Chain A
């Protein structure tokens, strides 16, 4: 079965600084990969997804992620963080071409933005 690890529970970044959130997955082939963001008391919003092709994926709100097969990673990046980016971020993996529709989510990384 697939699994997802987000090694950082909390990360604090200064406003204007760059951001990288880590995500590692375990799966025997190339999975579908997703990043979601959750503001307090809200549902999850899809930031970006990787299905195949170009390993650098662009998403909404200026975020991007890079799929690295050799490292089983799908790290999320943003060049300059804004205070409004403070939220919890979840990485998720799905199994393509399968009978299963469920996704496996990491436990999340809380992003704090300092002035």
Chain B
């Protein structure tokens, strides 16, 4: 079955550490997205990529970085510059990089600070 795989499901970070969240899709989708979810705040867009080797900042990109070297993969690095990283992170993809197409989501990674 095609889908989006996020790993790990739970991740713990020490102060001052960078951590990388994995997102892989086998849907052959062009576009991929990273969202941060905090209670009562809905989904906030961190970064998105409409095509391989290209990505754009979303609404809350500070303290995060991404790469898109392969169509299937869109890893998110939470850097030490992100002062409040504890949250639920969701990766999504859509078939096209334009036109407001529906997004398909992974099951998320919950990041906590030790």
* The stretch of B12-20, B62-70, B97-105 that contacts the partner chain: B97-105
Q: How large, as a class, is the contact surface on chain B?
A: 20 to 34
Do B58 and A102 touch (CB < 8 A)?
yes
A100 CA / B98 CA spacing, docked (Å): 5
Min CB gap B67→A, angstroms: 18
A9 CA / B104 CA spacing, docked (Å): 24
* Count of A-B contacts judged by CB separation below 8 Å: 76
Q: How large, as a class, is the contact surface on chain A?
A: 20 to 34
Contacts of A46 in B (CB 8 A): 102-104
Contacts of A107 in B (CB 8 A): 40-42
Residue B25 interfacial (CB < 8 Å)? no
Closest A residue to B91 by CB, please name it: A43
Contacts of B58 in A (CB 8 A): 102
Do A101 and B41 touch (CB < 8 A)?
no
Do A99 and B98 touch (CB < 8 A)?
yes
Residue B31 interfacial (CB < 8 Å)? yes
**Known contacts A41-B108, A42-B108, A43-B90: does B98 contact A102 (CB below 8 Å)?**
no
Do B96 and A101 touch (CB < 8 A)?
yes
Residues 7-35 of chain A: 1 if any B CB is under 8 Å from the residue's CB, otherwise 0?
A: 00100000000000000000000011010
Residue B71 interfacial (CB < 8 Å)? no
Residue A105 interfacial (CB < 8 Å)? yes
Residue A71 interfacial (CB < 8 Å)? no
Contacts of B105 in A (CB 8 A): 36, 43-45
Do A98 and B90 touch (CB < 8 A)?
no
Q: For the complex of A and B, list the 4 residue pairs with the smallest distance between their C-beta atoms, beginning with the closest.
A: A94-B100, A43-B105, A107-B42, A44-B105
